[in-house]
């Protein structure tokens, strides 16, 4: 078992096994979680499962954790890396992350083994919101965007809101999360680059069909700029409210450094907002291209 070193970027003292350290005045916890498993899902994505005490397991769909990624022989990632909550179970205290190995931080995460410890700052940010009068929503995601949308679908199902999930991927081997959506009775549409079905034209046809069938009270998306722009355009045309979970490289994750600022369009004005603190979930109509 290894103890993961915490850098100054964590700005907090090491805590004991399975413990929670509350950062004074922030309302945010640094959770020392224990790795239960960390396995490959396919050749691109890994699933990290941890036992996380306290409020971590009460994270809601769309919220994220800022993870202290381990140092390896190759890398020494200084800053934490943001990861969406793929699953958070208050009863068992289990939290899961679905991640793509990209660079130093996620390579470090991939080196974690069962029994290791991981410092997780969070839960952070503003999650998804569901209106009580919505009866059916459409979620559209690609890649690790589905890590954010799968818990949203479960939150919707728990409130008796139907879900259509449009899952976009490069090919069948990269398709993620289908059992999570199927388990809650979602109608699942898989669209692929390999057969051309992920084209904007085809996804637009699917979304218009959902609307025509009365199954699109709201749109939700994550993981693709192209798909976000499509949903935004259709939402505007058809009068469908929507939310988008945005990604941005982060440093503090706590709203202080302003490194994660993006532009939004609000009432004809361009407004800057921090993805970590004001989001990562924002009104779809206000998002701008990235
Ligand atoms: C709120 C939030 C939730 C996220 N949830 C997940 C998740 O559930 N699963 C997952 O795999 N990833 C998720 N990400 C993205 C993840 O944080 C980055 O992939 C990760 O920080 C990359 O770190 P790295 O050290 O491995 O790669 P780096 O070496 O930092 O970067 C590798 C490459 O990815 C690019 N990159 C890094 N971070 C981002 C980013 N945030 N947006 C776009 N490009 C980036 C870099 O420019 C570079 O080209 C999320 C990001 C945010 C902001
Ligand atoms: S990462 Fe520092 S303000 Fe968002």
Interval 170-214: pLDDT, tens: 999 999 899 999 999 999 999 999 999 999 999 999 999 999 999
Residue 174 maps to a domain: yes
CA distance 16 to 31: 10
Determine the average pLDDT of the residues in 52-67: 91
Is the same domain home to 95 and 144?
A: no
Report residues whose beta carbon is within 6 angstroms of any ligand 2 atom.
250-253, 255-260, 274, 276-277
Q: Which of 124, 149, 172 is the last residue of a domain?
A: 124
CA distance 67 to 118: 7
Give the closest residue (by CA) to ligand 1 atom 4.
Answer: 83
Determine the average pLDDT of the residues in 121-133: 95
Q: Say which ligand is closest to the CA of 125.
A: 1
Give the closest residue (by CA) to ligand 1 atom 45.
Answer: 249
Please report the pLDDT score of residue 18 as a whole number: 57
Whether residue 33 has pLDDT greater than 50 = yes
CB 46 within 8 A of CB 39: yes
How many domains in the chain? 2
CA distance 149 to 176: 11
Q: Which of 73, 89, 124 is the last residue of a domain?
A: 124
Residue 129 maps to a domain: no
Please report the pLDDT score of residue 268 as a whole number: 92
CB 55 within 8 A of CB 39: no
User: Whose CA is closest to 161, among 189, 127, 198, 130?
Assistant: 130
Structural domain boundaries enclosing 115: 8-124
CA 105–ligand 1 middle distance (angstroms): 9
DSSP codes joined into one string, 58-88: GPPTT-EEEE-PPP-SS----S-EEEE-SEE
User: Whose CA is closest to 285, among 211, 247, 248, 234?
Assistant: 234
CB 196 within 8 A of CB 169: no
Is the same domain home to 108 and 31?
A: yes
Please report the pLDDT score of residue 15 as a whole number: 38
């Amino acid at each position: 078992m290894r103890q993961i070193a915490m850098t100054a970027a964590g700005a907090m003292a090491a805590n004991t096994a399975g413990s929670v350290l509350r950062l004074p005045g922030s309302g945010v916890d640094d959770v020392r979680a224990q790795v239960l498993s960390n396995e490959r899902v396919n050749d691109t994505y890994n699933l990290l499962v941890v036992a996380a005490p306290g409020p971590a397991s009460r994270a809601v769909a769309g919220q994220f954790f800022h993870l202290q990624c381990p140092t390896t022989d190759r890398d020494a990632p200084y800053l934490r890396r943001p990861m969406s909550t793929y699953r958070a179970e208050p009863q068992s205290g289990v939290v899961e992350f679905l991640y793509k190995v990209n660079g130093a931080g996620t390579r470090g995460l991939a080196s974690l083994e069962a029994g290791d410890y991981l410092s997780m700052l969070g839960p952070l940010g503003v999650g998804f919101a569901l209106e009580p009068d919505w009866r059916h929503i459409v979620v559209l995601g690609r890649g690790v965007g589905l890590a954010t949308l799968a818990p949203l679908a479960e939150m919707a199902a728990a409130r008796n809101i139907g879900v259509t999930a449009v899952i976009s991927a490069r090919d069948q081997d990269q398709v993620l999360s289908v059992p999570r959506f199927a388990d809650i009775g979602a109608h699942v549409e898989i669209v692929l680059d390999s057969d051309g079905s992920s084209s904007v034209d085809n996804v637009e046809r699917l979304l218009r069909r959902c609307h025509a069938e009365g199954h699109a009270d709201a749109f939700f998306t994550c993981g693709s700029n192209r798909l976000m722009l499509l949903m935004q355009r259709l939402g505007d045309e058809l009068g469908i409210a929507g939310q988008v979970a945005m990604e941005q490289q982060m440093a503090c994750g706590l709203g202080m450094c302003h490194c994660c600022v993006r532009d939004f369009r609000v009432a004809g004005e361009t407004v800057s907002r921090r993805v970590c603190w004001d989001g990562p979930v924002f009104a779809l109509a206000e998002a701008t291209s990235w």
